[in-house]
Structure 1
Amino acid sequence: MIRLSVDLMGADAGVAELLKGLYLFHKRRLECTFLLFGTRAALSSELKRYPLPKHLFEVVYAQDYVNSDAEVFRTLKSGIDTTMARALHSVVSGQAQGVISAGNTGVYLALSRFILKTLEGVFRPAIISQIPTCRGESVMLDLGGNLDNSSKVLVQYALMGKIFCQKVLGVESPSIGLLNVGTELQKGTDALKEAYDMLKHQKGLNFYGYVEGNDISKGTVDVVVTDGFTGNVALKTGEGTMRMMSFMLNRVFRSSFSARCAGWIAKPFLQDLKAYFDPRVYNGALWLGVRGVAVKSHGGTDSIGFSHALETAYDMVRINIVQEIQNTLLQQISTSE
């Protein structure tokens, strides 16, 4: 039986919306149990609105929570009794197998690294997530964990991305691309050029080469490797584009009577399109490279999006992704010695 720790505080959407998402996920995964972390003032009254079975849900109250304006260093120094920190500690103690939070991203990543620790051999953990493409789904990392990375870190991201893609998407030999401003060999930073040369000679990697921004949506490669600054910008640009497409289609099909008739005829197809490109379906990014499953949900997501973040955490625990990454890294280290 899988048990997940859920930090219900600090999200833009509020406690009620996250609890609604938890309830949606619970109806899909009746066997999963939960530790719910919150402050008594915010959580006790909201829990009365949802008929959550007491034998599956245990509530843990903390004195404080991490708000959106919290500073990383100050929270690390004094934030032990926050809902976020206590949820992470529950994974270390073995009370739960995974943790989910929609709170402050910077603090969550710092606390995860501080409390869970990094896996042996990992230079820097990365945020990884699945993304929709014209070919199906790809994965991309880093999406904001580290803003600037060396060539060695990028090479390690490629290896971890390969393992993730194999275990999550079932791709036997995933193709790997290095995100750059062009595909020409002379383009890019020194770190990218060094990473390219290293990846080109890396055994066991299906290295495609450089890819550009438009290759992400094309699905040119299965794994897109980049630094956290570029990855985060690309991710949010893609999400914004998907929302703009939905808005524009809505406006076009409401612009006239004939357009509304056409929209009514096309409605089933448009609903399928909207569902495929709905950013909420892809909500839930894994903090890859730490000693435990730590999933970050968008702070502004709704109940549907939060339920998908919970699904991500559940799947990562189920396939034992942390141990898979650790075993592969240790094998690589022993081979290179």
Structure 2
Amino acid sequence: MVCLSVDVMGADSGVEELLKGILLFHSRCPECKFLIFGVESDLSLGLKNFSLSQNLFDVIYTPTYVRSQADVFSTLKAGEDTSMSCALRSVFSGQSQGAVSAGNTGVYLALSKSILKTLEGILRPAIVSQIPTCRGESIMLDLGGNLESSSKSLVQYALMGKVFCQKVLGVEFPSVGILNVGTELQKGKESLKEAYELLKNRKEINFYGYVEGDDISKGTVDVVVTDGFTGNIALKTGEGTMRMMSYMLNRVFQSSFYSRCVGFIARPFLQDFKAYFDPRVYNGALWLGVRGIAVKSHGGTDSIGFSHALETAYDMVRMNIVHEIQSTLLQHDFS
């Protein structure tokens, strides 16, 4: 039985919405067990509207939680038993196999690295997630874990992204590209050029070369490698574009009686379109490169999105992704 530790504090949507997400995922995966961490005053109030089986849901009250405005350094220095740190420690101790939080991103990543530690040989962990493309889905990393990345870190992202893509998307020999401002060899930062030179002769990597911003949605490569600053902006831009497209479609089909009639006829196709590009389906980014499963949910997600973050953690546990990454790193010198 897979057991997940869930920090239900610090999200924009509130404790009750995240509890709804847990129950939504539980309805899809009834065999999963949960350790739910939170401050008693907030969590007990949210639990009043839910009936949880004691066999599958253990509630653990913590003295405090990480606020959305919390400073990373100050939080680590304080060393308090927050709902976030307790959830991660339960993974480290073996009480659970994965942790999920929608709280403060910077603190969550720092605590994950501090508590779970990094895998042997990893310079810096990276945030990885699936993204929808014209060809299906691709993998992209880093999505905000490290604002700057050295050439060696980018090479490690490529290797970890390859393994992640093989396991999650089932692509046998995924193509890997470095996100750049152009495909010409002379363009880009020095770290990108150095990473290009390191990757182009690696037989273990199906290296495509440089890709540009529009190649992400095209699905030109299976794995897009970038630094966290660029990756996070690209991710948020894509999510914003999805929402804009959904808004504009609704606006167009509500503009007149004729358009409403057309919209009614096209409703099944529009629903499929909306479902495919719904950012909530892709909610749940994995902190890849640490010794445990740590999944970060968007802070502003709803119950549907949070259920998908839990599903991501559950799938990563079943795929034993941490072991797969470590085994691959030990086979090659990518330090």
When normalised by structure 2's length, the TM-score is: 0.99
Question: 1:229: Cα distance to partner?
Answer: 0.1
Partner of 2:52: 52
Question: 1:48: Cα distance to partner?
Answer: 2.1
Q: Distance in 2 between matches of 1:167 and 1:189?
A: 31
RMSD: 0.9
Partner of 1:209: 209
Partner of 1:223: 223
For 1:48-127, what aligned pairs fall within 5 Å after superposition? Answer: 48-127=48-127
Aligned AA (2:136): G
Partner of 1:33: 33
Question: 1:52: Cα distance to partner?
Answer: 1.6
Q: Structure 1, residues 222-249: CA drift from partner, whole Å, max 9, x if none?
A: 0000000000000000000000000000
Matched, 1:198 2:205: no
Q: Distance in 2 between matches of 1:124 and 1:202?
A: 21
Partner of 2:188: 188
For 1:252-267, what aligned pairs fall within 5 Å after superposition? Answer: 252-267=252-267
Structure 1: stretches of 5+ with no match in the other structure: none
DSSP 3-state at the match of 2:266? helix
Q: Distance in 1 between matches of 2:127 and 2:274?
A: 25
Instruction: Give the length in aligned residue pairs.
Output: 335
Matched, 1:291 2:284: no
Q: Distance in 1 between matches of 2:330 and 2:12?
A: 39
Question: 1:51: Cα distance to partner?
Answer: 1.8
DSSP 3-state at the match of 1:287? strand
Partner of 1:270: 270
Aligned AA (1:234): A
Query: Which stretch of structure 1 is more off in the superposition, 56-65 or 77-86?
Result: 77-86
Question: 1:71: Cα distance to partner?
Answer: 0.3
DSSP 3-state at the match of 1:61? strand
DSSP 3-state at the match of 1:209? strand
When normalised by structure 1's length, the TM-score is: 0.98
Aligned AA (1:107): V
Aligned AA (2:61): Y
Q: Distance in 2 between matches of 1:289 and 1:24?
A: 29
Question: Would you identify which runs of 4 or more consecutive aligned residues in structure 1 move more than 6 Å?
Answer: none
Question: 1:203: Cα distance to partner?
Answer: 1.9
Q: Distance in 2 between matches of 1:79 and 1:216?
A: 40
Q: Distance in 1 between matches of 2:9 and 2:79?
A: 14
Q: Distance in 1 between matches of 2:186 and 2:117?
A: 37
Partner of 1:323: 323
Q: Distance in 2 between matches of 1:52 and 1:211?
A: 48
Q: Distance in 2 between matches of 1:273 and 1:199?
A: 36
Contact between 1:141 and 1:157, CA under 8 Å: does it hold in 2? yes
Q: Distance in 1 between matches of 2:205 and 2:74?
A: 41
Aligned AA (2:103): G
Q: Distance in 2 between matches of 1:111 and 1:90?
A: 13
Aligned AA (1:63): P
DSSP 3-state at the match of 2:55? coil
Partner of 2:240: 240
Q: Percent identity?
A: 75
Partner of 1:163: 163
Question: 1:80: Cα distance to partner?
Answer: 2.9
DSSP 3-state at the match of 2:99? strand
Q: Distance in 1 between matches of 2:190 and 2:87?
A: 40
